[in-house]
Structure 1
């Protein structure tokens, strides 16, 4: 056995490898490495239901929610109370729209889009503390939270593949 740079154990160069499934072909990280990784992940990400709960609390959520999509996408539907700041406009408009002392949470279309990541990077480079809302607007709507369009408020029934249809609480 040899120890890798990450501190995990792997067979030595000439060791015969036993048949291992694809999940365990690369061994799991140590518990300390895993804890550090997942702690860091939570420092960079928030999920849709946590954002919705913070916004619904009635008080100040302690962050500003930024929709970084185009005007057409914003008009199609956005989270109530979000600030519209398209990713390309972050460098020139963020200082006028956002307070650097208030954390920012960015979102874009959904998991298949990295616009929220690009907006978060641009904001971080300008000195903002920032997180990305996982799932984006797609999961906001799919989980049944109210949203606004150019025509007014809308809400869809929760998609049972993304949120519990009966309780609204996944228990996580």
Structure 2
């Protein structure tokens, strides 16, 4: 089973576009990012969410996928949603019993991204970014701009690290 780690913008939420919606456990996406969800995510997969908060990157929540809705296939269910994700091509609904919003977000730094080998963010990667004048935060942002498929063992590591965080 495949899982994904996605970046979202707190700034968009502050401006009124709340997606992901952690209250309703709903996340939507379109275009190439929506295609990644459609091709790689299935019922039971996990989606981890990360955002830039106060000049650091954090994992703030995760959903275990309960339902996937696709425009053109489940339009009536999508239109019935009361959230911003309903404008997207693919909408994921999280399972209430196996999803978590972290009250103490998990720092997503060089050490953690290095443990997620799917990112290929080893010391050589960070050294090159430093030579290019990029900060650690910018280097992590470069790796997390697009949703990233992660392995089962990486999912298990993140679940374990998120325990006791809310």
Question: TM-score, normalization: structure 1?
Answer: 0.28
Which has the larger share of strand? 2
Question: TM-score, normalization: structure 2?
Answer: 0.29
Which has the larger share of helix? 2
Structure possessing the higher relative contact order (Cα contacts under 8 Å, 6 or more residues apart): 2
Indicate the structure (1 or 2) with the bigger Cα radius of gyration: 1
